[in-house]
Chain A
């Protein structure tokens, strides 16, 4: 091969930051989150009792649960954005928030009368919640797809699923600012379903959208 090709590549070689991958993923998801937040404010608005709720544990539990998905799946995406990187190291940690919320939900259900358990689980908006979460997860997902395409994932399905989880967490975080459901069983069921739906979407489109040349 022509040596001027090698010459061109090695010319003007600048140093590369160790945070190159993390920074790009962060830029991608942040752009999406800003768009989702604006959409949420325009279409739904923050829950009216937000100032009272900032003193309540459940408000923070919802936000923290959503954020945990974004952070843990984001760390996994940071590995899967690299050829030969292994994302499984991080993803297993998702069990921690999930099992914790499932435990709290079970306690709550056990402490109410049997005939109010189903209303507690379903709340007022069970059929709507997963879709709303998914809706607000789309902009962050688009941002993460953009970020990934500039990196070098080689396991496209896994990478798609993981950025789907991270975007799902971000969508849940935004939607939780509006949603007035404060029962933990509702959170454990419907928020999780919304986030997992987004992961499934990422898994499905990964091989199509994450392919880079």
Chain B
């Protein structure tokens, strides 16, 4: 389950930013390094909301939850459980 989530996020980021699959791993910092800028962050949030059927609270759009693929996947699972 979680691997599937990670896979989908990974694919989205790679295609959105035109990266090579080898450029990002599960623990590669995405926002703090600028790989994902503010506009891409919004597309990512939009993608996550529609793909995984969850809703972000305004304060949840944050590096804490979005900085790595691992963190994003954890966040999605937490939200789905609530």
**A and B associate in one complex:** no
Q: Could you tell me which B residues sit within 8 Å of A by CB distance?
A: none
Q: Could you tell me which A residues sit within 8 Å of B by CB distance?
A: none
